[in-house]
């Protein structure tokens, strides 16, 4: 194997960043989605596209109506979403991040194709279970939430950490989302709460607990993770989710909902870019 002296290798790496900045140097808007059914349409709408890849993560770098936009396929789940968010922030220094895609309803009134704009997102994947003796089973309805970013100490014993981790949507992005609502004619748009974990929940009593205690309207597997990462790195963030399934009213997963969400998010991105120009 060919070996370069370390000093030369370091110089080569420094001179050749893995990504280029957007063409005009303006900070881009990053739009994330986990799966092909959530990003392919948006990526196809970009002009002058260049594709950047890091391992399994793909970034389509281009413009939308002349404004720099990066579409990021984060892959599924909280670890992948956090990793993709760090990569995006480190390499593109974005003005803002939108995480969007499919989600399961936590409210029986939510129909397929309805969209929930995330006034906040909550992390419904971190809990402490109260002690139970061997042979007495398990009851997730009793579990106490853990906020893993609330304190430096042991989260399970610090009272400050014994509440749900919640991340607020950015006001300017929310404004852009409101501007775009009238163009979405496929179904309704609500402002609400997005719940995130690495689980797909179909237990109606557990879903009812999340809905009652934390206000969740939909659940999915990326938004709060990306929101937490964006918050820790100081980047404005908004989650937008389309109802693709709803076990509380018996609606099975419809992957086409992902494209409807992309249509709406395109309009939100344009409204955001227009507001930045003003
Ligand atoms: N529960 C969890 N994740 C869901 N998703 C769509 N519906 C649900 C649901 N009911 C999304 C997740 C993940 C993939 C499984 O689809 O965000 O990316």
Q: How many angstroms does the Cα of residue 162 sit away from the middle of ligand 1?
A: 26
pLDDT at 21: 56
pLDDT band at 14 (very low <50, low <70, confident <90, very high): very low
Beta-carbon count within 10 A of 180 CB:
22
Ligand 1 mutation target, pool 75, 102, 204, most atoms within 8 A of CB: 102
pLDDT, tens digit, 9 for 90 and up, residues 236-273: 999 999 999 999 999 999 999 999 999 999 999 999 99
* Residue ranges with strand state E in 127-267: 127-128, 144-145, 166-168, 189-196, 218-220, 237-245
Q: Beta strand pairing status for 67-73 and 29-33?
A: parallel
Instruction: Please work out whether the CB of residue 102 comes within 6 Å of at least one atom of ligand 1.
Output: yes
Q: Beta strand pairing status for 189-196 and 115-123?
A: parallel
pLDDT, tens digit, 9 for 90 and up, residues 66-107: 999 999 999 999 999 999 999 999 999 999 999 999 999 999
Is pLDDT of 210 > 70? yes
Instruction: Please work out whether the CB of residue 103 comes within 6 Å of at least one atom of ligand 1.
Output: yes
Average pLDDT of the residues of the chain: 92
Helix, strand, coil percentages, rounded to 5, for the chain: 35, 25, 40
Residue 202: burial class (beta carbons within 10 Å; 0-12, 13-18, 19+): exposed
d(CA 19, CA 22): 9
Tell whether the torsion through CA atoms of 177, 178, 179 and 182 is positive or negative.
positive
Task: Indicate yes or no: pTM above 0.85.
Answer: yes
pLDDT at 151: 80
Instruction: Please work out whether the CB of residue 222 comes within 6 Å of at least one atom of ligand 1.
Output: yes
**Buried/exposed code over 121-139 (b: 16+ C-beta within 10 A; e: otherwise):** bbbbbbbeeeeeeeeeeee
d(CA 24, CA 43): 19
107 touches 211 (CB < 8 A) = yes
Which whole number is the average pLDDT over 38-50? 98
């Amino acid at each position: 194997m060919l070996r370069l002296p370390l000093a030369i290798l370091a110089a080569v790496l420094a001179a050749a960043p893995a990504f280029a900045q957007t063409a005009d140097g303006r900070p881009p808007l990053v739009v994330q989605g986990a799966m092909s059914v959530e990003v392919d349409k948006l990526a196809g709408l970009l002009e002058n596209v260049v594709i950047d890849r890091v391992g399994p993560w793909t970034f389509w770098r281009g413009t939308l109506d002349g404004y720099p936009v990066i579409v990021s396929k984060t892959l599924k789940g909280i670890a992948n979403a956090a990793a993709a968010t760090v990569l995006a922030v480190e390499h593109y220094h974005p003005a803002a991040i939108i995480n969007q895609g499919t989600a399961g309803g936590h409210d029986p009134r939510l129909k397929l194709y309805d969209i929930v704009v995330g006034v906040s997102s909550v992390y419904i994947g971190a809990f402490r279970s109260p002690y139970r003796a061997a042979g007495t089973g398990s009851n997730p309805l009793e579990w106490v939430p853990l906020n893993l970013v609330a304190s430096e100490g042991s989260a399970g014993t610090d009272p400050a950490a014994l509440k749900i981790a919640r991340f607020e949507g950015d006001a300017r992005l929310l404004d852009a989302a409101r501007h775009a609502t009238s163009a979405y004619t496929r179904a309704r748009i609500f402002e609400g709460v997005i719940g995130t974990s690495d689980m797909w929940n179909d237990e109606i009593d557990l879903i009812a607990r999340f809905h009652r205690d934390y206000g969740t309207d939909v659940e999915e597997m990326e938004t709060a993770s990306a929101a937490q990462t964006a918050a820790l790195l100081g980047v404005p963030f908004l989650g937008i989710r389309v109802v693709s399934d709803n076990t509380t009213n018996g609606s099975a997963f419809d992957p086409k909902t992902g494209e409807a969400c992309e249509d709406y998010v395109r309009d939100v991105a344009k409204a955001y870019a227009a507001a930045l120009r003003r």
